[in-house]
Amino acid sequence: MITTRVDLNERQLAELKALVDGRLSTSESVLEQHGHDESAAVPGRPSAVVMVNNVEEVSKVLAYCNKELIPVVAFGAGTSLEGHVVPLYGGISLDLSNMNKIIEIRPDDLLVRVEAGVQRNALNDKLANHGLFFSVDPGADATLGGMAATCAAGTTTVRYGTMRENVMALTAVLADGTIIRTGRETRKQSAGYDLTRLLVGSEGTLAVITEITLRVFGIPEKMAAAVVCFPSLADGVLAATTIVRTGIPIARCEFLDAKSIRNLNAYDHMTLSELPTLFFEFHGSPTGVEEDAQAVKEIIEEFNGSEFKWTTDEGERRKLWHARHNAHWANFAANPGKRGLSTDMAVPISRLAEAVDVAMRILDQHPYEYSVLGHVADGNFHCAIMSDPLKPEELIEVRHITHEITLEIIEMGGTCTGEHGIGSGKITALVEETGQAAVDVMRGIKLSMDPHWILNPGKVMSN
């Protein structure tokens, strides 16, 4: 079991380097780049960064690290938001970005096979040539391996699902170097335990994913976007949850509070009214999207919605979602010198308005600047809370505040994380949410797959 920081000695560095044809770095800038993600978590340093080119190399490196008790943190694009890639116990950062081949696109089966280091924008560029797209869209240009490992979701989840629904099969390497294949390229499978979905969301703690078979979709004939403002966030949230319940097949439904809109206007040169706002997208036939937009318009009027604007213009639609995906950076730009902690709670949609209200009531008792936005149709919302990196005590206090909110959300039947994962920041919340008995089952699984606890130690649960 890894319990203290591991720094590699000269022999280990040389032996590992030989396994990957020299692609091992100990340069300060490379170590720095692999020591943090995009969260407020305190960065660390791996002892070395190892670049792998194929599954055989991953297998050799893991077998070596297992024998030598060296911690291994898989690294995709480093865009995660819970300190996931911070090497808390040193060891190596295993960088998969060279494994970026799109192996096979199969339009007839609506699937694609990719190496784990492929980034989602590159995949979508290639798929577009076949009239296809991959739906899961976290705001960052993450790798598919990282997205599978965190069970990422995004703005289209309401219609197309999260990574859990869209990963069909995996190749992965266990801590001892054993290569396993999970799942099949079929729409249904009922053969044995579902190891694919065990690995999806395992945050690099059970295995290193090297190849993924993903479900893809045909690009819709028509896409339309709509924007509508509300006098209060509660009105907007209630309108959105009503729309979801009526079964209108919305493809995206996002809410942003007035502060988020103000930040987007400044960052992306938009001219949106600075009020609580919902963004929608509709996919279908030209008449279908028009009917869906009209049905939404009728519902939002019941909830005091105003300034309903909709468009089928491709440029305007793209601009709107580009801005939405920039919300994280817009927030940083509005708070220079600060760092943001993003909460990620989700509740059953009937409790969403209440959950947002609870979060804001607690946050309003403290001096920290925050804004709220979320994937409203999934009952998932983020509070981006700013603190001063030069005053570490602020981050500690913000973590206490978010834990207080989390406890109330769990009480409401919700979860501490809808899509970002546990990382190192929500280990206690996981126990509160699932109970110690369930965490003990997870620990048993971890020990059977990674007996020496070398894979991303200090994440998901304590060592």
Ligand X SMILES: Cc1cc2nc3c(=O)[nH]c(=O)nc-3n(C[C@H](O)[C@H](O)[C@H](O)COP(=O)(O)OP(=O)(O)OC[C@H]3O[C@@H](n4cnc5c(N)ncnc54)[C@H](O)[C@@H]3O)c2cc1C
DSSP assigned state of 119 = B
Which residue's entry shows tokens 């009526």?
246
C-beta atoms surrounding 53 within 10 Å: 15
Contact residue for ligand X among 46, 76, 414, 425 (CB under 6 A)? 76
| Total number of residues shown for the chain | 463
CB 241 → ligand X: shortest distance, Å? 19
Q: What is the dihedral of CA 102, 105, 109, 111, to 10 degrees?
A: 30
CB 362 → ligand X: shortest distance, Å? 23
Contact residue for ligand X among 6, 8, 31, 37 (CB under 6 A)? 37
Angle made by CA atoms 290, 240, 334, in degrees to the nearest 5:
105
Contact residue for ligand X among 36, 338, 420, 426 (CB under 6 A)? 420
Buried b (16+ CB within 10 A) or exposed e, 65-94: bbebebbbbbbbbbbbbbbbbbbbbbbbbb
Residue by residue, what is the 3-state secondary structure of 352-374? HHHHHHHHHHHHCCCCCCEEEEE
CA distances (Å), origin 325, targets 128, 155, 330, 377: 20, 9, 9, 17
User: Taking CB under 6 A as the rule, which mask of x and - marks residues 144-163 in contact with ligand X?
Assistant: -xxx-xx-xxx---------
User: Taking CB under 6 A as the rule, which mask of x and - marks residues 305-344 in contact with ligand X?
Assistant: -----------------------x----------------
Q: Residue 344 in contact with residue 425, Cβ under 8 Å? A: no
Angle made by CA atoms 224, 418, 258, in degrees to the nearest 5:
55
Contact residue for ligand X among 35, 135, 203, 359 (CB under 6 A)? 203
Is 44 among the residues that bind ligand X (CB under 6 A)?
no
CB 37 → ligand X: shortest distance, Å? 5
CB 359 → ligand X: shortest distance, Å? 18
Comparison of 172 and 258: residue with beta carbon closer to ligand X: 172
Contact residue for ligand X among 81, 92, 127, 272 (CB under 6 A)? 81
Is 35 among the residues that bind ligand X (CB under 6 A)?
no
Strands 208-215 and 167-173, how do they pair? antiparallel
Is 208 among the residues that bind ligand X (CB under 6 A)?
yes
Is 201 among the residues that bind ligand X (CB under 6 A)?
no
Measured at CB, which residue is nearest to ligand X?
146
Is 55 among the residues that bind ligand X (CB under 6 A)?
no
Strand partners, 382: 373
Is 52 among the residues that bind ligand X (CB under 6 A)?
no
Q: Name the residues that contact ligand X, by CB under 6 A.
A: 37-38, 73-81, 84-85, 96, 116, 138-140, 142-143, 145-147, 149-150, 152-154, 203-204, 208-209, 328, 419-420, 456, 459
